[in-house]
């Protein structure tokens, strides 16, 4: 499975990794939430919160899911980071617009 870098800024919110886990991983494997929670070594409630996109994927949870899905923890952490960064950027949009960058572009930095 090839990974690609997402160019910023995104015009729409990245998908929460819990939604990917729910819609793509568990459904394609035909595994129930109860069985997945058992295999992950967590409670059903904890897994439900992730699948409902109300709880983040922590590094420890990424290790569990990465092992379970066979694709490693990095993918799950990057998805969570992209989701969190986009959410924070939306909340801080006005505040961030007031901050003037020190260097406006890489071309300007090279010309110094």
Task: Report yes or no on 2 lying in a domain.
Answer: no
pLDDT, residue 49, reads: 98
Residue 7 lies in a domain: no
pLDDT digits (tens, 9 = 90+) for 17-41: 999 999 999 999 999 999 999 999 9
Looking at residue 30, which CATH number applies to its domain? 1.10.260.40
Tell whether 67 is covered by a domain: yes
User: In this predicted structure, what is the pLDDT of residue 109?
Assistant: 59
The stretches of the chain forming alpha helices (DSSP H) are 17-20, 27-29, 33-40, 44-51, 59-69, 73-91, 93-97, 106-110
Residue with tokens 């092992």: 67
Its domain, for residue 23, covers: 17-99
Split into its structural domains, the chain has a count of: 1
Q: What is the value of pTM for the model shown?
A: 0.80
pLDDT at residue 107 is higher than 80: no
Q: In sequence order, which residues have a C-beta less than 8 Å from that of residue 78 and are 6 or more positions away?
A: none
Residue 60 has a pLDDT of 98
The torsion of the CA quartet 102, 106, 111, 112, rounded to 10 degrees, works out to 30
In a domain, 65, yes or no: yes
């Amino acid at each position: 499975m090839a990974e690609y870098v997402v160019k910023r800024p995104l015009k729409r919110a990245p998908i929460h990794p819990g939604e990917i886990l729910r819609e793509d991983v568990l459904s394609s494997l035909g595994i129930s939430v109860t069985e997945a929670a058992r295999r992950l070594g967590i409670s059903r409630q904890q897994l439900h919160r992730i699948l409902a996109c109300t709880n983040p994927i922590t590094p420890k949870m990424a290790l569990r899911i990465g092992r379970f899905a066979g694709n490693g923890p990095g993918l799950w952490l990057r998805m969570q980071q992209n989701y969190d960064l986009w959410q924070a950027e939306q909340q801080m949009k006005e505040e961030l617009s007031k901050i003037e960058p020190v260097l406006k572009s890489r071309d300007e930095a090279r010309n110094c």
